[in-house]
Amino acid sequence: MRHVILVFTVFMVSHISHSQIYEVGVFGGGSNVIGDVGSTQYINPNSLAFGAIAKWNRSPRHSFRASVIFSKLQGKDSKSGDPRRQQRNYDFETQSVEISGGMEFTFLDFDLHDSALKVTPYLYTGITALHHDNYFFDANGIYTSENTSSWAWGIPMVVGVKANITTHFILALEVGFRYTFSDEIDGSVPDSPERSNLSFGNTNSNDWYNLTGLTLTYTFGRRPCYCNF
């Protein structure tokens, strides 16, 4: 995992060093999973999420963006509104690290060299890779570690609003859903094929997870001469 983060950092620094203007900062908020265990609410943060974010602004309307976010993903059937889940009473938790990269689009021009107050909604999408530990529920419903870990690839769908609160600081509030190509995050599908008989829930529907929170970034760099890109 340390090697992945190192490669990610080197990649960002090599691009940032040649950018016209860029942002670096932090993300803080909450996470929740939408799967076969726990609440079925789409926005229901139940665990702390935090990380780092960087952006390379190519124009006042779009930016390349990357982030690393840490969280403990968890869910409890007792918190669900579904009586069948409440009766089953399963719960899970797994430590996770998300690496994400893609493009952010603003609805309005967001020229970071203009000191006037600017507020704009934005969208972000790209690709995510979520590293998580693997668990399964045994025949007695006990949440058990498989002593392995996996990468769950996914697509982020993020909507937010941001504003420049000072000359160099930008504050944003965002809600981001991640559709993954995995059904193993909540333990409803064991990673090992030898335990496939212990799968449950809707095996035709993959897991989603949500990250909701604030970003605070510091922006600096020379005045850009934006080009077509």
Q: Map out the domains of the chain with their CATH numbers.
A: 2-20+29-220 (2.40.160.20)
What pLDDT was estimated at residue 220? 84
**DSSP category for residue 18:** T
Distance of CA 37 to the CA centre of its chain: 19
Three-state SS for 154? strand
Q: What SS3 string covers 21-52? A: CEEEEEEEEEEEEECCCCCCCCCCCCEEEEEE
What pLDDT was estimated at residue 11? 41
Q: What is the pTM of this model?
A: 0.85
User: b/e for 109-146, b at 16 or more Cβ within 10 A?
Assistant: ebbbeeeeebebebebbbebbbbbbbbbbeeeeebbeb
Tens-digit pLDDT profile for the chain (229 aa)?
554 444 444 444 444 334 358 999 999 999 999 999 999 999 999 999 999 999 999 888 999 999 999 999 999 999 999 999 999 999 999 999 999 999 999 999 988 777 789 999 999 999 999 999 999 999 999 999 999 999 999 999 999 999 999 888 999 999 999 999 999 999 999 999 999 999 999 988 999 999 999 999 999 876 545 444 4
Burial of 21 (0-12, 13-18, 19+ CB in 10 A): buried
Three-state SS for 77? helix
Tokens matching residue 78 = 């007792």
Angstrom CA distances, 131 to 34, 106, 205, 209, stand at: 17, 29, 19, 13
Residue type, 115: S
Query: How long a stretch of residues is the chain?
Result: 229
